[in-house]
Structure 1
Amino acid sequence: MHCASNRQDAGWQAKVIGHTPLRPWLQERGSLTARLKRQYADFSVQVLAQDWHKPNVDEQALLQLPANQHAWVREVMLMGQGQGQVFAHSVIARQGLRGAWCHLRHIGRLPLGATLFANPRVKRSALHYRKLPSSHALYKAFCRHVPQQQSPVLWARRSLFCLRHHRLLVTEVFLASCAKHASRSSS
C-alpha cells in the first residue's frame, strides 16, 4: 500500500512556511521519541486521554473513514525536564486495532514512536505542517490539557503511518519550551 495522503486540507503545508525556532524539530524525519530521549535524560510519556471519539473532519479524510465512524484517539504529553515538550494526538480506525495495530490500544505510557520506528514494515508518509489557529480542534484539545497564561503560537506537524492496509495518523504539537532547546539539539 502506498502510504500517502490523497489530499491535504487547507492550512496543512508540505513545507514549514515562515520563521520559527522550532524548524529543526518540525522537520525531523526520524523518530521524534528517539530525539527527545537524546535531548532529555528524564524523557517520559504522560497519557492525557485515550478513548473512542469521532475524528476531526480532516483526520477522517486522511484515514479514509466515513463521517459517522469513531476511532481510537490517544493524546499524550511527551515530557522532558519535568515539563511538556510535545503534545501528541494519534488516531487509529477501529479495523486497525483489530489488525495491524491491535497492540497499540494498550501501550499506556510507552512512546508510540518507539513502536512505530522499530518495525521496518511500517511506512511513513510525508510530513505536513501548520500553525494552529485557536479555532482548530487540535488547538482546543491542547488547551483542555495545558493551562494557558496567554494564547501561544502552536506549530504542528502530522504524518500517516501505514502497516499493510491500516493507517494511523500522528499529529505532534510543539510547545514553546521545545523551541528553547531546538538549536542545541540539532546535532
Structure 2
Amino acid sequence: MIQQNPACPSPHWLTRDQLIEAPDTVVLEWLFHEDSLTRRLTRLSHDGFSVMPLFEGWQRLRADECAALDLADGSEGWVREVYLLGHGEKWVFARSVAGRAALERDGLHMDELGTRSLGELLFSDRAFARGPLQICQYPALWLPNADVAPGLWGRRSCFSRGPLSILVAEVFLPTVWHAIHHIADSHQERR
C-alpha cells in the first residue's frame, strides 16, 4: 500500500485539449489511446503480460479521487494497486478505486480479481462507459517506494455502470518506454 502523504498536493489532471505543453508524440499517443491498456501491453510483450497485486482493501480515498468520483472528501473506498508486467518486468503502476456504497450496491467483486486484469473486466462488460482520459505528471510520493521518481506520466479515466464508478489511474514506468522504443527501433531496422 502506498502511504498517503498529506503534504503532497494533488496534481492537475488535464484532458488532451487542456494541455499547454505536451509530451513527445509517442508518449502522448500512449497516454490518450482509448483501447484497453491491458490488450496493448499484451501485444507489446508478445503475450508476456501479467498482473502483480500490491494492495487491495478498504481505505480513505485521496482528495483528487473523491472529487473525480463525486464523493465527499475523506470517503472510504476499495483500493486496488497492482503492477502491470511485461515478461516479469514492471511496466505500469495502476491504482483503481471505487466508492464503498456504490461498489457494495453493485455487487462487483473487485476483491476477487487476484492476478486478473481489471481493465479486461471493464472493457469486456459493455455496460461500463469510459469517461475522458486525463493525464498528469504523477506525484512521486504516491508511487511504490521502489519506483519513486519525479516526472512520470500517468493517466486516469472513470468507468461507470449505473451508480458505480471506478477510477483507474495508470502510471507509465521508464521500463515500458524502453520496451516501446525498442519495438519501434526493431521495426525501423527491418524496413
Question: What residue ranges of structure 2 are gaps of 5+ in the alignment?
Answer: 1-9
Q: For 1:18, which of 12, 15, 22 is the aligned residue?
A: 22
Q: TM-score, normalised by structure 1?
A: 0.82
Aligned to 2:161: 163
CA drift of 1:147 comes to: 4.6
Q: Relative contact order (alpha carbons < 8 A, sep ≥ 6): 1 or 2 greater?
A: 1
Of the candidates 55, 74, 93, which is equivalent to residue 80 of structure 2?
A: 74
Corresponding position of 1:43: 49
Give the counterpart of 2:35 among 30, 38, 46: 30
Cα distance, 1:173 vs structure 2:
0.3
Question: Alignment identity in percent?
Answer: 32
Equivalent residues of 1:76, 1:88 under 8 A apart: yes
CA deviation vs aligned residue, 1:70-111 (integer Å, no higher than 9, x gap): 101110000002210000000011123223352222111100
Residue 83 (structure 1) aligned with residue 89 (structure 2)? yes
- Give structure 1 regions of 4+ aligned residues with deviation exceeding 6 angstroms: none
Structure 2: which amino acid aligns with 1:36? L
3-state SS of paired residue (2:106): coil
Deviation at 1:156, TM superposition (A): 0.4
Stretches of structure 1 lacking an aligned partner (at least 5 in a row): 1-8
How many Å apart are 1:153 and its aligned residue?
2.3
Q: Residues of 2 paired with 1:56 and 1:154: CA distance?
A: 19
Measured against aligned partners, the alpha-carbon deviations of 1:43-96 in whole angstroms (never above 9, x if no partner) come to: 100001111111110110111112232101110000002210000000011123
Shift of 1:178: 1.0
Q: Which has the higher helix share?
A: 2
- Conserved in 2, the CA contact under 8 Å of 1:97 and 1:105? no
Greater gyration radius: 2
CA distance in 2, matches of 1:103, 1:51: 12
CA distance in 1, matches of 2:118, 2:144: 22
User: 2:62 pairs with 40, 52, 56, which one?
Assistant: 56
Task: Report the CA distance between 1:34 and its aligned residue.
Answer: 0.6
- What is the deviation of 1:112? 0.3
Output one character per residue of 1:3-26: Cα deviation in whole Å (capped at 9) or x when no partner.
xxxxxx862111264233422321
- RMSD of aligned residue pairs (Cα, Å): 2.1
1:37 counterpart letter in structure 2: T
Deviation at 1:163? 0.4
CA distance in 1, matches of 2:12, 2:100: 27
User: In 2, are the aligned partners of 1:24 and 1:182 still within 8 Å (CA)?
Assistant: no
Contact 2:62-2:74 at 8 Å conserved across structures:
no
Count of residues in correspondence between the two structures: 170
2:160 partner amino acid: C
